[in-house]
Amino acid sequence: MTVRRDFKEPARCRPDLVIGRDELFTAARDQLTRGGSVLLHGPAGIGKSTVLRALAADYGEAARTVLRCSATESESHLPFLALADLFGLVLDEISDKLPVAQRTALESALTGRGESTLQRDGLALRLAVLSALRALAAAGPVLLVADDLQWLDSASAELLGFAARRLGDTPVQLLCAVRTEEQEYDRHLRASPPDTLAVRLNPLSRAQVSALLDHRGYTDLPRSTMREIHRTSGGNPLFALELGRALGESPTPPRPGEPLPVPTSLRALVLSRLDMLSDEARRTLLVASAGARPTLALLHAAGRENAEAETAQAAALGLLATEPEGPAVRFAHPLISAALYAEAPAQERRAAHAALSTAASDPIERARNLALATTGTDPEVAARLAEAAALARDRGAPSVAASLGLLAARHTPPGGAPAPDERRLQAAEDAITAGEVDLARDIAREVLTRATVPAERIRAWEVVIEAAGQSLGEVDAVFPQALADAGDDPRLLALVHYRLAWRKLIVEGDFAEAREEAAHTADLAARGDDRRTELMALSFQASTETLMGHPNAPTTIKRALREPQDPYVACHHNGAGAARFRWLLMSDQLPEARSTITALLREVRRRGMVESEVHFQRFLAETELRSGHCGRALDLARESLRLARDSGIGLGASAMLASLAEASGGDVDRALALAREAAGKAEEDGDQMYVSRALAALGHAQLVAGDAAGAVGSLRRVRELEQGLGITDPARGRWQGDLAEALVRVGEPGEAQDVIDVTREHALRLGRESVLAVLDRAEALVRAARGDHEAALSRLTSVQDRLAKLGYGLEEARAAFALAMLRTGRPGPTSYDEAARLFRRCRALPWLRQVDAAIAAAAPETVAVPPRTAPPSDALEGLASMERQVAALVMEGATNREIAARLFISVKTVEATLTRVYRKLGIRSRVDIVRLAAGRHAK
């Protein structure tokens, strides 16, 4: 029997939950599946009720009886109300199973008939609740779902806590949610069963807030506005949704520098305590809310003489957070500042900004406040804002520069010099650098509605094309218009033809045509004396030639690196430095490639070039992966993917690389999902170049997962695509060895040898030593499949040494693994120790699992297998709940930091828990836990 099913959450709640809560949901669901209880906690609006309802809907079907209550503040003074909600509908079922005294006390409490109180009937009531739960559990599992525990009436809370602590092995589970700040959930945890998992709901990331708003239909918000929603809401989903709704209902979006419209519902939520402030203290807080980084010194300089006393008063009311280690004045939540500012009359806001325009020490802040204190156009204010934008650009804050540039345009009189639209276009270019592509595109489109000067129109078209990213096919109609606007001006034509070169590569997938277009662009730019565009064109030509395996690539790279250089091009992700990096990586010069990309990444971070940062972080991850540093590569790839999702830039490419990293050092299922995501994104964008790379990543993940047939299907398509694209350099994707190995596994050694022969010809021509070594490893497998084991063993031994000298740690380990596999079942010693050692050094956990599976498979047939130190497969059953969870995540390949994040505990707690696991299981390291996992899966 399951009661009160009408309280089930509609199916629509689950999509909200999975946005930013998937790992949390999985951890809680697993805890319930193991028979444990869950306590969700976090601040108001963080999404506890949504998660609670979805967990109850998802897991409730496993329980025979579901008891529910949801307390409210207005009813918290009514005794036994929560108890009545929980047991009211099942009282008839259980009453005759209780002793008379307990039944009488419980019926009196639930129905309100009689004078039952905790003081008079305390023991009888406590035992009645415990007996009632046991009686229900005797017929089947019971799930007790309680929301808003903080409002539970004290009598019900006392009785439930008494029962929860004494349930023991009774199949009764609690799924509860409570509003807390920081870690104030201990008293609720003490009133829960001993095996309760406390799960704190943390704020959502910017990308998760964006996904939540998209799901709710707020899809047209610019990225800059989304960033402001995330900042103002503090990642709180309720606050973010309310802000998004207010923006959706507003007829005009806020202009740069203006606050978000804070709806009345949120103002009432956070400003109720303002009425207790004095008028002067409220004015002081308004000045603080108008400042970017308010301090007591700034408030004094802005004329707030009693700032210390007034901020202390606000802190006592919970409006400000205390900062014992510094002078900053920090609001307890960003929404308080936003609501306070939005509530103030426009005249008072301008007065606060006027005071800060002279008090602030930073020239950027002074200019921003001067603009917000000024109405109408003012050439002097516009000039100061333009200077501040340039300073922000030099400081590596292009997003700030874009905002200041738009303010400068707004205050520039018509006919001013520079013109308002010129300043808008500069702001659009800054927005592109900052990754604010939606804002940039909107600015450019607006300028195009009135611009007549060809140079301005071409500049605007460039922004529109750049904002399209990899989806260049979506802006095909732009190119004829841009060419018409360029006329016969070589400088303007060069700008358009540079974009056309990219279109040839991405949309048409024609490397040869793209190379010719890039060379033509460089000539046009040289004639137009545009060194920046010339260098960008040469860099693009060099990268294309490198990927093609064209013999002119080194010469073109040298041309792109000649002086005079342009600082922007030097560190751009499509500039000369990036072209040189690609050539180094493909030429097996891993240490130099690493130092080159590390320096480039440092510089673009300093400049705030978000798009370049996304790409360079991915390039560094690829370098570490080639070097066999799988753990480091996985961390970098995951960070690159997070940044790509957050900025909306390079998502397909980052997903592709993250797939490769997961397959080598993380979770193979995640690798498969990411590769499919990358392929889908590339197909959607019409990006021919990255379709093949994503499919290569998919084929690799399928090979690691043991799906050789799937790998063959994916990699055969890669072969066809790259032949059509004219890509001949095998170092570009390095998928050929995987295809040959997969073909051997499915019984097609002839086709495998053909792949090897064709690829070897190109690798010999280009001097790709690591590719040749991997091909030799694959050929050894072909020879073994044909019965020539001695030649295969000799070849593999040589390959392992060559890969070690080249610095390809993971490929070296794969050669050692293949060598051990071929030796299995043959006379002489057979040991996987070398392969396991090399995979451990690389932190290649998926491959370590394959080694253990191979050991387990070979054990019955050979006495040469070293003794296993791993415990029996049921050893985890003897661990405590937290120890089992930590051990299970180690088996999945999670790092200590990842485990801490997923279980909402500290890294030190993870380390201490692992120490206990090692002692209980009689093992010494994480690798032994992974070995245990492989042993369990092999059974």
Copy the structure tokens of residue 793.
Answer: 């063993």
Q: What is the pLDDT of residue 511?
A: 85
pLDDT confidence band for 335 (50 / 70 / 90): confident
Distance CA 274, CA 314 (A): 8
Query: Residue 375 phi/psi, 5° resolution?
Result: -110, 150
Contacts of residues 888-891 at CB distance under 8 Å and 24 or more positions apart, as own/partner, are 890/914, 890/926, 890/929, 890/930, 891/929, 891/930, 891/932, 891/933
Is the pLDDT at 340 greater than 50, yes or no? yes
Query: Residue 234 phi/psi, 5° resolution?
Result: 65, 20
Is the pLDDT at 221 greater than 60, yes or no? yes
Distance CA 155, CA 541 (A): 77
DSSP tag of 141 = -
Q: What is the pLDDT of residue 938?
A: 41
pLDDT confidence band for 13 (50 / 70 / 90): very low
| Burial 461-471, CB ≥16 within 10 A → b, else e | bbbbbbbbbbe
Q: What is the mean pLDDT of residues 878-902?
A: 71
Q: What is the pLDDT of residue 680?
A: 86
Q: What is the pLDDT of residue 682?
A: 82
Closest to 37 (Cα-Cα) out of 168, 162, 125: 168
Is the pLDDT at 898 greater than 80, yes or no? no
Is the pLDDT at 873 greater than 50, yes or no? no
Q: What is the mean pLDDT of residues 858-869?
A: 43
Give the model confidence (pLDDT) of 274-310 as tens digits: 778 888 999 999 999 888 888 888 999 999 999 889 9
Q: How far is CA 502 from the centre of its chain?
A: 28
Which range among 238-247, 585-594, 917-926 shows the weakest confidence by mean pLDDT? 917-926
Query: Residue 871 phi/psi, 5° resolution?
Result: -75, 170
Residues 425 and 396: beta-carbon distance below 8 Å: no
Distance CA 275, CA 290 (A): 20
Q: What is the pLDDT of residue 859?
A: 58
Q: What is the pLDDT of residue 876?
A: 62
Give the model confidence (pLDDT) of 464-497 as tens digits: 998 887 777 788 899 999 999 999 999 999 999 9
Q: What is the pLDDT of residue 623?
A: 96
Give the rounded percent of residues in the chain with a pLDDT score beyond 90: 37
Is the link from the previous residue into 413 a cis peptide, with omega within 30 of 0?
no
Residues 702 and 672: beta-carbon distance below 8 Å: yes
Q: What is the mean pLDDT of residues 518-522?
A: 96
Q: What is the pLDDT of residue 827?
A: 41
Give the rounded percent of residues in the chain with a pLDDT score beyond 70: 88
Q: What is the mean pLDDT of residues 232-253?
A: 80
Q: What is the mean pLDDT of residues 649-663?
A: 90
Is the pLDDT at 7 greater than 60, yes or no? no
pLDDT confidence band for 323 (50 / 70 / 90): low
Which of 152-166, 450-464, 823-837, 842-856 has the largest mean confidence?
A: 450-464
Residues 537 and 560: beta-carbon distance below 8 Å: no
Is the pLDDT at 33 greater than 80, yes or no? yes
Q: What is the pLDDT of residue 760?
A: 95
Q: What is the pLDDT of residue 329?
A: 84
Q: What angle do CA 286, 290, 296 make, to 5 degrees?
A: 75
Is the pLDDT at 728 greater than 50, yes or no? yes
pLDDT confidence band for 322 (50 / 70 / 90): low
Q: How far is CA 723 from CA 353, 377, 727, 730, in A?
A: 62, 59, 6, 11
Q: What is the mean pLDDT of residues 840-869?
A: 70
Q: What is the mean pLDDT of residues 617-646?
A: 90
The whole-chain average pLDDT of the chain stands at 84
Residues 242 and 273: beta-carbon distance below 8 Å: no
Which range among 16-25, 142-151, 824-833 shows the weakest confidence by mean pLDDT? 824-833
Residues 622 and 657: beta-carbon distance below 8 Å: yes
Give the model confidence (pLDDT) of 175-214 as tens digits: 999 988 755 666 677 778 888 888 888 888 877 888 888 8
Q: What is the pLDDT of residue 245?
A: 82
Q: What is the pLDDT of residue 869?
A: 38
CB atoms within 10 A of CB 345: 9
Nearest-10 crossing angle of helices 531-548, 511-527:
160
Q: What is the mean pLDDT of residues 841-863?
A: 77
Which range among 14-28, 156-170, 274-288 shows the weakest confidence by mean pLDDT? 14-28
Is the link from the previous residue into 194 a cis peptide, with omega within 30 of 0?
no
Which range among 606-620, 724-738, 788-802, 918-932 shows the weakest confidence by mean pLDDT? 918-932
Residues 577 and 612: beta-carbon distance below 8 Å: no
| Burial 545-578, CB ≥16 within 10 A → b, else e | bbbbbbeebeebbebbbeeebbeebbbbbbbbbb
Q: What is the mean pLDDT of residues 511-518?
A: 92
Q: What is the pLDDT of residue 861?
A: 42
Q: Which residue carries 């073109």 as its tokens?
A: 556
As a whole number of Å, the end-to-end CA separation of the chain is 37
pLDDT confidence band for 11 (50 / 70 / 90): very low
Q: Which helix (H) or strand (E) holds 15?
A: helix 13-33
Taking the alpha carbons of 687, 438, 365, 376 in that order, is the dihedral positive or negative? positive
Beta strands in 17-62 (DSSP E): 37-42
